A and B are shown apart, each in its own frame.
Chain A
């Protein structure tokens, strides 16, 4: 029997504190479209990075076989050599170069270092015909829409005679028409002998094109299903995707939710002119005093954009709709105004957007509310030390001193510094964006306890989270966002992982 084109055996990949892939086995037959599905953080992207050599041989354990031959990839160049081509969600094209320059970027057609432009353009036209893209090869990439750019990426892969094409959520940023074209192209390529691995959250398109589906969950292979056998349905996939073990015990909660609405969005719409599309459309949302509202959805659904736009950080976006805070209609043009009005936002990316890493714990904690510690603009250093020490103790931040640079702290303690900073502005509504991402179980539990304590004291919390057990374990009410639209609202008692996922994958 012919060996599969790709076989990955017992792949295990660990990051400090997390096992991202745990004994994953993954096998792809020649000439099929193989879909890889799973929740955010299930390990799909990590697996593909292992395959393409981004994580070099030796940084993981297990075996990769191509056509039955064991392989050792030390970089992307090695995997390209055997015919693997990967196309990421964030396209890797140079916007200022032309279509044909991009297609042959890195493997230019040349003699003695001099490029043969005529041959380049001829071959580029050939590739563009293959992907059914009708553009001038001399056009600049930045003048093309995302859908066409996606096709240029595929043309680029084809020009390298790729045997195994991997696409990571290629349709996430495409409209329906472009998506349909892309899927048709994949079918066509398959019929011409190119094997495809497709990572997608859109289960409908998975059902439409997949010959085989593999489901990953928590870094493990859950099952591999035959797409033509009738055993694959949306419900079956969702059941396999979620079913995540609830490993964390959530602290008991006994808080009172008042009827008073603290924050309300009415028809909140955000348009990004640079991207030429809506990030959010007609979103309605309510948060009451003393309530934890969970905002569930997949990555890229628009949840972070929702938080940032209402927080006054919407550079160049066009906003419409109404924001009501404590019974008053408000417009925030800068986070400063939002903070003054009683909002706080703890970013999902604490290193890039939350902390000043080269500054110490004290300076980070007081940064957003220095005025409270200052008289005539001069900081009262002693008061500042007391505040920082107070949060170090109450949040149990593990650091030798508050003079320690936060870059030296662990992820969990960095997150606590972020929380301390935002608690110090004494907000009425606290927005937590992925508050427990990448932190250890102990610190997670402490953060859950803190959240419960805060709502008991009358604060309102909006929690954005991609971890369904966390959403179910901590929220009073759950909103599900998908494709920039509010797909539904569930009281926690009626919500299940399956119900949330059904709404989250509904495009």
Chain B
């Protein structure tokens, strides 16, 4: 076999084995290319992509939390209005109680965690279906949001520190390498690529030391080049328009933390075991109850974060903030490959799912497509993603 034929064979094998993993990346890519063509390049512009990612922020953090909730075979419908309500609480604290951002943010995050524990209580202790328990929360937080904004209507937030969370960008270093580009963002991009390449090589060497199956060298190099290029491209685009936003920084930190917890820690393993087989997990000494509390509390904290991002982005708290966020987050998680049967799904997938979802909105808005058609297209994409996921999973099982 020629080296070229071997390369193609390796590529087919690697793609075939990991089609589910790469499927979402490919879908996102295809969607972006299509919109770039149909909008004459406006979609791919730095400005638009920067906006798009900032808009994804408050759905993305909810999607991360929702992924774990669905992994343990539950659902949380209350998160949308909880985010809206806590956003309003933050606005009130800033505006009427004159508290500084540094106090308000942690306070609201703690309140979110408590709200999550409250949702978990009937689910864990009384085995009430989470659909019902969180639907009650949906109603209660919706009412609470209207109650706290009843006197004032929309609450304008004037605190610039707080508003920077949703609108600001990281500062730049005072030297310009590429004119017109954000230097620190470019530098961070390079740093991320170096860190990624080093960690991949180290992990591969360890696997080799244990005689584990690894990607063939050519595929490994291809993967490194591909993902490095992706990170580089992202950094380049962001650097072309004001650089990295604080929203992006927050989302990246949240994803990094959750990715680490789910893949590297005892807690993460216990959560996935509870999702995969609660009875086996219980008999293995893992408290299903405790995991339920933890996952719902994390969902509550992320709802609070989502509420902060949204209020900050709008520079205000409105009476309808958070409407339908929960369904967008659930859709993002499912597009990202989480399974309702439990135990399957990862946070990276959900972030990609959220990006796909928001890209569709953004691209179709730029094309001037009627909102009615936008909903229909999003519905079709959701179904297509889940069908793709289910069929490839089945094939993986058979193989």
Q: A356-B276, A401-B213, A407-B397 are in contact. Are A370 and B283 (CB under 8 A)?
A: no
Measured between beta carbons, the chain B residues less than 8 angstroms from A336 are 285-287
- CB < 8 Å: which of B265, B273, B283 contacts A359? B273
CB distance from A452 to the nearest CB of B (A): 25
Measured between beta carbons, the chain B residues less than 8 angstroms from A353 are 277, 279-280, 283
Q: A358-B344, A385-B210, A407-B397 are in contact. Are A378 and B283 (CB under 8 A)?
A: no
* Interface pair A356/B273, CB less than 8 Å apart: yes
B266 at the interface (CB under 8 A from A): yes
A233-269 interface bits toward B, Cβ cutoff 8 Å, 1 = contact, 0 = none: 0000000000000000000000000000000000000
CB distance from A460 to the nearest CB of B (A): 19
Query: Which residue in chain B gives the minimum CB-CB distance to A418?
Result: B280
Measured between beta carbons, the chain B residues less than 8 angstroms from A389 are 210
Measured between beta carbons, the chain A residues less than 8 angstroms from B344 are 358
Q: A336-B285, A353-B279, A368-B285 are in contact. Are A378 and B269 (CB under 8 A)?
A: no
* Interface pair A377/B265, CB less than 8 Å apart: yes
B373 at the interface (CB under 8 A from A): no
Q: Give complex CA distance A122, B174 in Å.
A: 93
Q: Mostly helix, strand, loop or mixed at chain B's interface?
A: helix
Measured between beta carbons, the chain A residues less than 8 angstroms from B217 are none
A382-406 interface bits toward B, Cβ cutoff 8 Å, 1 = contact, 0 = none: 1001100100000000000101010
Q: A358-B343, A382-B206, A401-B213 are in contact. Are A334 and B277 (CB under 8 A)?
A: no
Query: Which residue in chain A gives the minimum CB-CB distance to B270?
Result: A370
* Interface pair A354/B280, CB less than 8 Å apart: yes
A363 at the interface (CB under 8 A from B): yes
Query: Which residue in chain A gives the minimum CB-CB distance to B264?
Result: A378
Measured between beta carbons, the chain B residues less than 8 angstroms from A105 are none
Measured between beta carbons, the chain A residues less than 8 angstroms from B272 are 356, 359
B222 at the interface (CB under 8 A from A): no
Which residues of chain A from 323 to 346 have any CB-CB distance to chain B below 8 Å in the complex? 334-336, 338-340, 345
Query: Which residue in chain B gives the minimum CB-CB distance to A380?
Result: B264
Q: Give complex CA distance A340, B286 in Å.
A: 12
Query: Which residue in chain A gives the minimum CB-CB distance to B342?
Result: A358
Which residues of chain A from 294 to 339 have any CB-CB distance to chain B below 8 Å in the complex? 311, 313, 334-336, 338-339
CB distance from B14 to the nearest CB of A (A): 15
* Interface pair B277/A379, CB less than 8 Å apart: no
Q: Please report the total number of B residues contacting A with Cβ < 8 Å.
A: 26
B284 at the interface (CB under 8 A from A): yes
* Interface pair A374/B280, CB less than 8 Å apart: no
Q: Give complex CA distance A367, B279 in Å.
A: 13
Q: A370-B269, A377-B266, A382-B206 are in contact. Are A401 and B212 (CB under 8 A)?
A: yes
B281 at the interface (CB under 8 A from A): yes
* Interface pair B282/A335, CB less than 8 Å apart: yes
B369 at the interface (CB under 8 A from A): no
B267 at the interface (CB under 8 A from A): yes
- CB < 8 Å: which of B210, B264, B266 contacts A371? B266
CB distance from A314 to the nearest CB of B (A): 12
* Interface pair B284/A368, CB less than 8 Å apart: yes
- Could you list some 27 contacts between A and B, CB below 8 A? A311-B283, A313-B283, A334-B285, A334-B287, A336-B285, A345-B283, A352-B279, A352-B280, A356-B277, A357-B277, A358-B343, A358-B344, A359-B343, A367-B280, A367-B286, A368-B285, A374-B266, A379-B264, A379-B269, A382-B210, A385-B212, A389-B210, A401-B212, A401-B213, A403-B213, A405-B397, A407-B397
List residues of A whose CB falls within 8 A of some B CB.
311, 313, 334-336, 338-340, 345, 347, 352-359, 363, 367-368, 370-371, 374, 377-379, 381-382, 385-386, 389, 401, 403, 405, 407-408, 421
List residues of B whose CB falls within 8 A of some A CB.
206, 210, 212-213, 264-267, 269-270, 272-273, 276-277, 279-287, 343-344, 397
7 A-B pairs with the lowest CB-CB distances in the bound complex, closest first = A356-B276, A336-B285, A368-B284, A339-B285, A370-B266, A356-B277, A353-B279
